[in-house]
Chains A and B, each alone.
Chain A
Amino acid sequence: MSSGEKYPFVLTRLDTAITWAQKNSLWPLGSGLACCAIEMIATAAARFDIARFGMELFRASPRQADLFIVAGTVTHKMAPIVRRLYEQMADPKWVVAMGNCAIDGGPFPTYAVLQGVDKIIPVDVHVAGCPPTPQGLLHGLLTLQEQIARSHPTQEILKPDARGSR
């Protein structure tokens, strides 16, 4: 939706309310793949306290999660499972590629590693690092929250064909 279009004021207020609720209660899927997972857990632990941002509720089941933090290397063997997990998550959902491996294969340009998770699922925020520090991950998540705040979920109500209100 471009800034020149006329959009009902009430709906923009509704957008703000919905995105406020969404961004402050993201439930991450507990799927750490490799080393980045440890820093993800450290981010959730007492010192860096991801609960400040409403994200402490890591869900084991993709059906209950709306944030997929791909933390670690995605191998070719694991790729179909990552894809399936993404598909099992219900809309609206977001993906954070955490770490260099998830962004582009990282230090592993080998026969076994998928060179970037965005080859199989759409990624909203890339957090670089090997591994990114908890501060780095939090910065990435805050960036995601800003992205969500700028989105227009009510567009999906008006135009159901417009998949993804990003």
Chain B
Amino acid sequence: MPEDLASRRELKAVQEAMAARFGPAVIETAFKLGELTFKIAKDELRPALEFLKSRLGLDTLDDIIGLDNSRSVPAGGKRFSVLYQLRRAPGPLRLRLAVDLAEDETVASAVPVFTSADWGEREIYDMLGIRFDGHPGLRRIYLSEDFAGHPLRKDFPLAGDDDGV
């Protein structure tokens, strides 16, 4: 199994720095399969990204991922999550930052911190309908403007809503 080569010590240092800076806003920390993940309160997302980038050297956004948790989230829980996969390049130190969002909640755009998040956020908006505040031009990226619905939502059928052409 491919091991993450970042030392446990480095990861622990990041974990401690995050706890010190954000305290209870770090809702959850997990280390599983060699991967470190933080769940952070939605309002602290932009500060957290800036802190991780400029103070802890996680200057590379590898990917940004949207999730619809409606099949697994307990009643009263938040439907969506957005995950930010960060890395201290060129090395192997990686971590994942997660924010949970209720339906119709928006989250701050990561573009002011990571320019490369631009199209990734548009993709999440297109596929899941999550809106990012402050995005330079949030609109669909794959599907036509007049497409109805967001396909990666769990209640959207694989073959689409209409009968097809």
Contacts and interface: CB of A to CB of B under 8 A. Distances in A.
Asked if the two chains touch in their complex, CB atoms less than 8 Å apart, one says yes
Interface of A: 76-77, 79, 109-112, 114-115, 119-120
A77 B143 contact: yes
B128 to A, nearest CB: 14
Contacts of B158: 109-111
Given A77-B143, A77-B144, A111 B165 contact: no
Contacts, number: 27
A165 to B, nearest CB: 28
Nearest to B144: A77
Interface of B: 142-144, 151, 156-161, 164-165
A78 B74 CA distance: 40
A115 B164 contact: yes
Contacts of A114: 164-165
A interface majority secondary structure: loop
Pairs of residues from A and B, 5 with the lowest C-beta to C-beta distance, nearest first? A111-B160, A119-B165, A111-B151, A77-B144, A114-B165
Contacts of B161: 111
Contacts of B164: 114-115
B165 A76 contact: yes
B160 A110 contact: yes
Contacts of B142: 112
A24 to B, nearest CB: 35
Contacts of A119: 165
A110 B151 CA distance: 10
A77 B144 CA distance: 7
A79 B165 contact: yes
Contacts of A109: 158-159
A109 B158 CA distance: 8
